[in-house]
Structure 1
Amino acid sequence: MKLRSVLTSLALAGAALFAVPGAGVATASAADVTPYVTKISHSQATAMFREVGITWSSSGGCSDRYNSTCTSFEQLNLASAQGAQTLKRASGCGLNITGGTEVGHASGTYSHWNGYKLDYSLGTCINSYVTNNFTYIGLRGDGAPQYRSGSGNIYARESNHWDVLYYNCGGC
């Protein structure tokens, strides 16, 4: 019985690390579990990007999360901002972010809106860094070639930018 008690305690402690939308701990399955993430504000993100020399731009010259022509970092996951910093430091490339958490991107759990993705301008340096240092994993459903970093983040080369899915900070 002691082993069962220990296992139950471990399971409950592990469950405390996760949010379970619409379900209690006892009824949740692995598919229902979404990890907790730390959200940051637009100003926190821009300070982090400035710190390492990352720039950002928007076609509308704005940062309103509810305007698709803006580039917003409101509600960005801390790990995504740290992942951008890691990419900048590791690659040494100039990075310009063109898409953040604003409306207008595809929906889903691991989406821009939910703070998991950033878009970067294409460039010779970053294009070469991704394709030479990360593992090609095939085409995404829309035909974009995808590469997986050593930490598991996914880089998809779309027609005019890199769409990066940050599961973690990339070794920060």
Structure 2
Amino acid sequence: MVTVRNGNSGAAVKALQVQLNKYNAGLAVDGAFGSGTESKVKAFQQSKGLNPVDGIVGPATWEALLSGSGSGSGGGSGTLTHAQAAAKFSAAGIGWTSSGGCSDRNSRTCTSFDGLRTSSANGAVSLKQAVGGCTVTITGGTETGHSAGTYSHANGYKLDFQHVACLTNYITGTFPRTGERAGDGAPLYTAPSGNIYADEGNHWDVTFMN
């Protein structure tokens, strides 16, 4: 792979921008490596635990972009460690909290991101971008204690978000109500992407399907 950096232009930079946009970078695919592309590269490198975070796209960064996993990703292609997901969320302005103030996946009082699907993390970042200045706080991740199932917290498909008015207004005002969840009657709202938002009263239970 051709190493590219700020100031470069051409087909390799276009290919880079296409790959970054798969992670919701929102870049114009113009083949010009400017400060905007550099900042997205640095955010990607940080989210994947790559070192150094220098904005230069060499072999390791290309590999992470093309494979969906980076150095020390843990859990295989398409999933993140807690540290990687936390870095991604911090960069996007997303907060998180737990009743136990911990991140141990094996404790139900913790909020852990170990094993979170990369696409779920990207979905959370997209949600934050959509609501702008609204405070977005994650209250539940992949830790034990949630309901089992294929599209579950444990399998990295779900995140819980703190129930705040601006987030609720965005979800209910943007996506159609599609019924109630069997079992607990939680109102369901479904996005065109297939993501499902369940209103559990004190938090939003969000299933990221893509």
* TM-score band, normalised by shorter chain: 0.7 to 0.9
Q: Which residue of 2 aligns with 1:155?
A: 197
Q: Deviations over 1:69-98 (max 9, x none)?
A: 000000000000000000000111210000
Q: Which has the higher strand share?
A: 1
Using the alignment, how far apart are the partners of 1:122 and 1:88 within structure 2?
14
Using the alignment, how far apart are the partners of 2:115 and 2:180 within structure 1?
29
The correspondence for 2:187, drawn from 129, 141, 145, is 145
Distance 1:72 1:132, change over 3 A: same
The correspondence for 1:112, drawn from 125, 130, 153, is 153
Q: Which residue of 2 aligns with 1:22?
A: none
Q: Deviations over 1:43-68 (max 9, x none)?
A: 11001100110000000000000000
Using the alignment, how far apart are the partners of 2:151 and 2:166 within structure 1?
26
The correspondence for 2:103, drawn from 54, 58, 63, is 63
Residue identity opposite 2:89 in structure 1: F
Any unmatched runs of 5+ in structure 2?
1-75
TM-score, normalised via structure 1 length: 0.76
Q: Which residue of 1 aligns with 2:94?
A: 54
1:42 aligns with 2:71: no
Give the share of equivalent positions with the same residue, in percent: 56
Count of residues in correspondence between the two structures = 133
DSSP-derived class of the 1:58 partner: coil
Using the alignment, how far apart are the partners of 2:199 and 2:97 within structure 1?
19
Any unmatched runs of 5+ in structure 1?
1-35
Using the alignment, how far apart are the partners of 2:80 and 2:92 within structure 1?
17
Q: Deviations over 1:135-155 (max 9, x none)?
A: 110000110000011211000
Residue identity opposite 1:64 in structure 2: D
Using the alignment, how far apart are the partners of 1:147 and 1:165 within structure 2?
11
1:86 aligns with 2:126: yes
More RCO (CA 8 Å, sep 6+): 1
1:8-23 mapped onto 2 (5 Å cutoff): none
DSSP-derived class of the 1:48 partner: helix
Q: Which residue of 2 aligns with 1:20?
A: none
Residue identity opposite 2:140 in structure 1: G
Using the alignment, how far apart are the partners of 2:138 and 2:157 within structure 1?
14
Using the alignment, how far apart are the partners of 1:55 and 1:83 within structure 2?
15
DSSP-derived class of the 2:83 partner: helix
